A and B are shown apart, each in its own frame.
Chain A
Amino acid sequence: MIATSTGSWSASIRQPQAASALLVALLAAAGILATLGLRAMTEGATVTIAQGGVSAAVPDGWRVKPGSGDLAFIVTDPRSADLEYVARVINPLGVPLATVATQQAAVKEALLTGYVPIDTTEVTVAGTSGIRVRYAFLATGPAGTVPRLVRGMDLYVPAGDRVLGLTYESPAAGHEDGLDQFYRFVGSARVEAAS
């Protein structure tokens, strides 16, 4: 049977061509739905790491850099050098938690370009009272590049006779977007018993 036995040129191609266009539309819809499903599976995916006396669930695919001294580890998003979580186990040497937070802020002020404290408040972290310090600074790159504004947040909570310090730093523009993920990290963090 010949497909074009009757009708105009446009009419003659209408049915099979419409079906082929419909198939492409279905393919596009399936691709977008599958991508959204992949995102749902991937976005919250974490892996649990244990470094420097701290275990925590960190975003899957982030780079883990082991620390030394009171620095347990740093995990960095490979797509953004300015997006990272830091875990510390601090010996408070008998001073109150608020003093520990103040001392740590002073260290950062000395180390970070353009450091600006935003606020320091008492918060509750996973049922435990802690201190939150929010700040901003400028991340500098190679000569000739524009510095990037970074926002940060330190959380300090008691962990036995020590203090667990958790930090979230990100590009200022997307800082709020990453808070939920950081709080999941905070909720998973545990100071391991010294062996």
Chain B
Amino acid sequence: MPDLTATPCRVCEQPATHRMGNYALCEHHFALATRERPHVWRTQLIAIGALLALVVVATLVSTFAGQDLAGAPLFVIGLLVALIPAAVWLTLFYREDRVEPEPRRLVVGVFALGAVLAAAVGVPLLGDVLQLGRWVGTNLPVQVFANILAVGLVPAVIIFAAVRTTVYGSSEFDEATDGVIYGTAAGLGYATVLNVGLIVDAGGANLSFASIHVVLTALTVGGVGGLIGFFMSGQKLRSKPVWWSAAGVATGAILIGSYVTIRTVVSTGTATILGVLAGPWVGLILAALLAGAITAVLTRTVRSEIARATTIGVAE
């Protein structure tokens, strides 16, 4: 058996007492690396429910206000709706994370960097450089590849970059679920820029359709952000292979690209339910299912990895 005390902890350089794969950790950081914050999953699920409730409320307001809601008031309300997903998630997260919170400046900073990179790199790259709108037509294979290689990969890489260049190197990034938290924050930053852009470009939009678009974008990109962050946690804390983060980015790109393709196919239909165009609602339900599925898979995977790491750590 190797003498671990001769090896410094990977995080704090105190004498190591545990080993996770090739990584040595002291007692404190081994406990953190194998700690699960159950509230993270609860926050994600409550946020999904809250955002779906937002769509219902917006649809009711739009229905009852009718033509009275137009012009500048509609524009301002649309902008507020675009900001609500991030506000809901951050509020819920801090309510649940009071005991041992992640530094607020780091979470907000990663959210802001995700937004800045989206505005400065992501949106111009997709719109002005790759000009997807000009050449991605109705050919399904072309749609699938373009949506994965560009529409999915660009936000996935930006989410990675926002986390990697900020909190990732910090000793605050030391728990199994930290990647999920910071990845979600970066994803919501990206989604918020897309959503504000939608409202600004439209000069205000039908409140019901705007809220559906805002929520499905936040659910998809935010959920995939959590997934990418999970892979990054594994890379840093669990001695995963060198391609692990790239695999997370690729998985995120495939999920976003596949979702966008399916939503495009569904939303081009003219089917109605009770006189309401069905496409946007089906797209919303798919986004909620995707975000819920990601949360469920991450919950299960993190728990099993923690159990396995704890067993190995004790055995060694």
Contacts and interface: CB of A to CB of B under 8 A. Distances in A.
Interface of A: 1-5, 8-10, 12-13, 16-17, 19-21, 23-24, 26-28, 31-32, 34-36, 38-39, 42-43, 59-62, 77-79, 144, 177
Contacts of A144: 67
Contact of B169 (A5, A10, A32): A10
A16 B242 contact: yes
30 contacts: A3-B23, A9-B12, A9-B171, A10-B169, A20-B242, A20-B244, A20-B245, A21-B245, A23-B242, A24-B157, A27-B153, A27-B246, A27-B249, A28-B153, A31-B253, A32-B130, A32-B149, A34-B145, A34-B149, A35-B150, A38-B142, A39-B130, A42-B136, A42-B142, A43-B135, A61-B137, A61-B142, A62-B137, A79-B133, A177-B134
A9 B138 contact: no
Interface of B: 2, 7-13, 16, 19, 22-24, 67, 125, 130-131, 133-139, 142, 145-146, 149-150, 153-154, 157, 160, 164, 168-169, 171, 235-236, 239, 242-246, 249-250, 253, 268
A36 B130 contact: yes
Contacts of B253: 31
A12 B253 CA distance: 30
Contacts of B244: 20
B70 to A, nearest CB: 8
A26 B243 CA distance: 11
A168 to B, nearest CB: 16
A39 B10 contact: no
Contacts of B133: 79
A59 B7 CA distance: 65
A34 B242 CA distance: 23
Nearest to A146: B203
Nearest to A15: B242
Contact of A13 (B13, B142, B169): B169
A181 B62 CA distance: 42
Contacts of B19: 2
A1 B136 contact: no
A20 B231 CA distance: 11
Contacts of B12: 9
Contacts of B145: 34-35, 38
B27 to A, nearest CB: 16
Nearest to A1: B22
B10 A20 contact: no
Given A4-B8, A24-B245, A35 B146 contact: yes
Contacts of A78: 137-138, 268
A24 B244 CA distance: 10
A4 B6 CA distance: 11
A164 B15 CA distance: 86
Contacts of A12: 10
Given A16-B242, A60-B137, A78-B138, 19 more contacts: A2-B16, A3-B10, A3-B22, A4-B23, A5-B8, A9-B11, A12-B10, A13-B10, A17-B168, A17-B169, A17-B235, A19-B242, A21-B245, A26-B246, A27-B246, A27-B250, A31-B154, A43-B134, A43-B135
A4 B160 CA distance: 24
Nearest to A62: B137
B137 A9 contact: no
A90 to B, nearest CB: 30
A20 B23 contact: no
Contacts of A5: 7-8
Contacts of B131: 39
A43 to B, nearest CB: 4
A6 to B, nearest CB: 8
Contacts of B135: 39, 42-43
A9 B157 contact: no
A26 B24 CA distance: 29
Contacts of A59: 137
Nearest to A25: B157
Nearest to B25: A4
B240 to A, nearest CB: 9
